[in-house]
Structure 1
Amino acid sequence: MAHTARSRRTTAALAALSLGILATLTACNGDAENDAAAPGTHASPSATRADESTDTPSSADPSDSGSGSGSGSGSGKSSDSPSTPSPSKPGSDDGQDGGVGMCETADLSYNVTVASRPVNHALLTASNKGSDPCLLSANDLVITIPGLDGAAEHMGPDGKDWILKPGQNAYAGILFSRADTAGGKSADKMEVALAASEDPTTVPINDGPVTVNDGQVTSFFGTAEDALTY
């Protein structure tokens, strides 16, 4: 009987020990499962934030970034407005008026023809043969007739300088002989310069030769009639 009782106590003790071990193992497994589950639980908010940050750009309206209706500085209006060109500067007044250069002797072509009236007169026609206008000095014309000493004297009123356009003519009257002066020298050409400082050009006298005993010249005028009045 004593042996049987010890056997039962031993069995009971082993059973209790087995239950303790089982409980310990169960608790350990539970902790392990909780630990394994913990990373997934803590990672979820991060994943949510990542998803939210990824979705934010795609949810924006692309038309908002380049809209010209916005009041921000990036509206791009400045690129649509071309810069206003600077006004042109006036030309230098170096021998010029309003940027137009003075007419030079070589800029014009010349024709001298004996006039039917008044007698002993010739008409000088000067034409702007260039492609640009030039300022014609009306009173500086120099006429020299070979065989006579000096240049022809001025006669008639002073004219006004004006801009001679391409192809436009100016006229001057030339007196080559006085009726009350005897004698003279025959001439079939004369020299013309727009100013005393310039080299003259030789121009033939159409319908010549003429007898020259005097020399006078008018200013430049806009018509032949005005030039032959004096």
Structure 2
Amino acid sequence: MAHALRPRRTAAALAALSLGTLLLTACGDGDADKGTGPAATSAAPSPSPADTGKPSATPSTAGPDDGGSTAGGSPDDSEGTPPPSKAGADDDQDGGVGMCETHDMAYTVTVASKAAHHALLTAVNKGGAPCLLPVNDLVITIPGLDGAAEHVGPKDTDRIVEPGGRAYAGIHFSRGDDAGGKSVDKVEVALTAAETPATLPVDDGPVTVNDMLVTTFFTTAEDALSY
């Protein structure tokens, strides 16, 4: 009897052990299916823009040559608009007023003293703009005679003559103590030696021409006739 029972217990124990092993194996397979292993925690890499065909979201850093934008505005904005250019003066003294020319002026020569053959030259700016009168360069000649009048009296600075403005010079056609001379009734006037003179009559003439003298231009007739 005792020999018959031992084999059955051993067989039962073996059967129980086999069943436990099967249950453990089944549980292990279930945990693997739930993703609890190391492989389940690894994330798959994201596809690159080249793989998906979509543009990158990263801002472009291209410069102007690449077609990108330039920080701070366009080159035109940074350079600004050149300041308008200005008109300049003709020279450093006249502030842009042009020189008076001989034929810009109207002249009269009127005898002031027949005994001394002293006459007054009046020059009037007949133009519509002021001009700068070269007061020390006046040239007085006589048609058909050589030579020009010698300058006498003080020199002055060139001055601006407004439209209609006047300047005066005194002419000595002959010195009082000189004998002889030529009788004339016309005189030539040029503001500078480089210009063609204007020819005009001598009012209250004729006068005797001998050793002529002329002053610079003055602002009054009295100053012009005081020499």
Task: Identify the TM-score tier after normalising by the shorter chain.
Answer: 0.5 to 0.7
Asked if residue 129 in structure 1 is aligned to residue 126 in structure 2, the reply is yes
Runs of 5+ in structure 2 lacking a partner? Answer: 1-80
Q: Which range moved further: 139-148 or 117-126?
A: 117-126
Secondary structure of 1:226's aligned partner: helix
Matching residue of 2:91: 93
Q: How many angstroms does 1:146 deviate by?
A: 3.0
Measure, in 1, the Cα distance between the counterparts of 2:96 and 2:130: 10
One-letter amino acid of the structure 2 residue matched with residue 141 of structure 1: L
2:124–2:165 contact (8 Å) kept in structure 1: yes
1:147–1:185 contact (8 Å) kept in structure 2: no
One-letter amino acid of the structure 1 residue matched with residue 147 of structure 2: G
Q: 1:124 to 1:118 in 2, by over 3 A?
A: farther
Picking from 111, 114, 123, the partner of 1:114 is 111
Measure, in 2, the Cα distance between the counterparts of 1:210 and 1:153: 17
Picking from 163, 175, 181, the partner of 1:166 is 163
Secondary structure of 1:135's aligned partner: strand
Q: Which of the pair is proportionally richer in helix?
A: 1
One-letter amino acid of the structure 1 residue matched with residue 187 of structure 2: M
* Runs of 4+ with deviation above 2 angstroms: 85-94, 116-119, 146-149
Measure, in 2, the Cα distance between the counterparts of 1:176 and 1:186: 10
Q: How many angstroms does 1:88 deviate by?
A: 4.1
Measure, in 1, the Cα distance between the counterparts of 2:85 and 2:222: 43
Secondary structure of 2:107's aligned partner: strand
RMSD of aligned residue pairs (Cα, Å): 2.2
One-letter amino acid of the structure 2 residue matched with residue 89 of structure 1: A
| Number of aligned residues | 146
Measure, in 1, the Cα distance between the counterparts of 2:144 and 2:178: 16
Runs of 5+ in structure 1 lacking a partner? Answer: 1-82
Q: How many angstroms does 1:205 deviate by?
A: 0.1
Q: After superposition, give the CA deviation of every residue in 1:145-181 in whole Å (9 maximum; x if it has no partner).
A: 2354201000111122100000000000000111211
Measure, in 1, the Cα distance between the counterparts of 2:130 and 2:165: 9
Q: 1:220 to 1:89 in 2, by over 3 A?
A: same
Matching residue of 1:144: 141
Q: 1:118 to 1:99 in 2, by over 3 A?
A: farther
